[in-house]
Amino acid sequence: MRNLEKQTQQLEQQIKQKLQKKKLKFQENPLDFFEQTLGFKPTDYQKQLTNFFVEKQFVAARWCRQSGKSHIVAALLLHYALIRPKTSIGVVGPSYRQAKLIIRKITAFLRYLPKSSYLKARKTIIYFSNDSVIECFPNNPDTIRGPTLHLVYWDEMNFTANDEEMYDAILFTLGTTNGKFVCSSTPWSTDHLFYRIFNHPDYSDFAKSHITWKDATEPDGPLKKQILEKIRRQLKSDPWRWHREMEAEWAEDESRYFPQELITKCINGTLTYSSFIDRLSGRFCVGVDLGKKRDHSAVAVVQLLNNGQVRLIHLHRFKLGTPYASVIGYIKALTDRYLTVEAIYVDQTGIGEYVTEDMTTVVSNTRGVVLTSRRKEEVLSHLRELMQTCKVSMPYDSQLIAEIHCEKYELTKDGHTKFSHPEGTHDDRLWALALACMSTRKTEAPSRLIRAW
């Protein structure tokens, strides 16, 4: 009898859900949906992108930072899923983490919808009551090629290393549905598909949107004038970055030691940083750049693979003013969780040997490095050589990318290389990474420490 009552209740619930689904009806016009359901009024340039999205099959957006790109794209994807039952939408980016940020923005809009309009919202996928799905995928052509999709959105496309392979896979999965493709990015490398979309006649089918800081400044956009002035001051010594990120134009200073193309090909979108508490097996090397008042302290951990590759697996930058004792404690706790730590290189330039000596008493295999001009040249040239030969890989990390790219060089009259970074920028994470990579050299590394757990 109880089973019969339970089955009856379940049947009633299913009937109720089906009736609710039939009652759900959203505005067909996305602009009406944004204002009446989601409660925001799009800017003029967001309206233009919306019209491109509705009318065109291929859309590309080249917008400046803080212009509301992710906001409007998330709203467009949500609307598309709601008004088209059984629609599958895929989101990709230079990393899985970046793709999940778009899912998070879409999830934030769900509070404006009836709860019966969606079934389940997770970090990587949203299920809707009309059988539509929005899912993010790792940056892997094989992964995106499998499912049948009706729409694919590619975020920060210009920072994705395997652009040709990914695009071919996306076209393949859209081929059976005659689906839509939307991409967006801040300009980065000219040796990239995203650049060709905006500059080559072969991609004339794309509807293209280009928005600069002038278009996005209040009252015409969300960019506050006070914030804009702060950004302008911070990037005063790096006009090329301002040109890329605020003018949304391609630009590169020829005095940069690490070109954009070189950095891009080292990004592996499937990688993520390990956390502080992870216990890891394998062989590891650590680089530490010490700062305090003007510069941050930073620690980088690379893993040595059997094929000779070096993989960045952990990166942490400390707050300004963090005591050296806290930095040493962090490194001690971190390396205690790794099975084999072959070397720890610490920049002791300007602080003397006492910090390194203190670290040596609690952390084995520590070696202090004084970064003279010649030594800096040796350390950074080794990192660049690893990058040029595709022997180093790193997760997509916009802050690290900016630090690597901001490093400038000039040749001195004695034939050596002098390094610097623009005023207002930092390069502590770069030097931590470079020191970690330097310590992987067989001629450099001291005897390794193997832990028995």
Q: 334-388 pLDDT, tens per residue?
A: 999 998 999 999 999 887 678 888 888 888 889 999 999 999 999 999 999 999 9
Class at the top of the CATH hierarchy for domain 260-440: alpha beta
pLDDT of residue 444: 47
Give the 3-state secondary structure of residue 91. strand
For residue 184, report the phi and psi dihedrals to the nearest 5 degrees: -150, 155
Which conformational region is residue 308 in: left (phi greater than 0), alpha (psi within -120 to 50 degrees), or beta?
A: left
Q: Where do the structural domains in the chain lie, given as residue ranges?
A: 24-235, 260-440
pLDDT of residue 453: 47
What lies within 8 Å, CB to CB, of 109 at 6+ separation is 38, 74, 75, 78
CB 164 within 8 A of CB 273: no
For every residue of 332-347, DSSP letters joined together read HHHHTTEEEEEEEEEE
> 81 is written with which tokens?
């899923």
The sheet with strand 88-92 has its strands ordered as 118-121, 125-128, 133-136, 88-92, 151-154, 180-184, 58-63, 207-211
Topology adopted by domain 24-235: Rossmann fold (3.40.50)
Distance CA 10, CA 352 (A): 73
pLDDT of residue 262: 94
DSSP-assigned beta bridge partners for residue 180: 151
Q: Which residue bears the tokens 């970090």?
A: 123
pLDDT of residue 297: 94
Distance CA 218, CA 336 (A): 51
pLDDT of residue 314: 97
Distance CA 234, CA 354 (A): 34
Pairing of β 408-411 and β 417-420: antiparallel
pLDDT of residue 329: 94
For every residue of 9-70, DSSP letters joined together read HHHHHHHHHHHHHHH----SSHHHHIIIII--PPPHHHHHHHHHHHH-SEEEEEE-TTSSHH
Residues with pLDDT less than 70, the chain: 1-24, 292, 352, 442-453
Burial class (CB in 10 A: 0-12, 13-18, 19+), 40: middle
Distance CA 101, CA 424 (A): 28
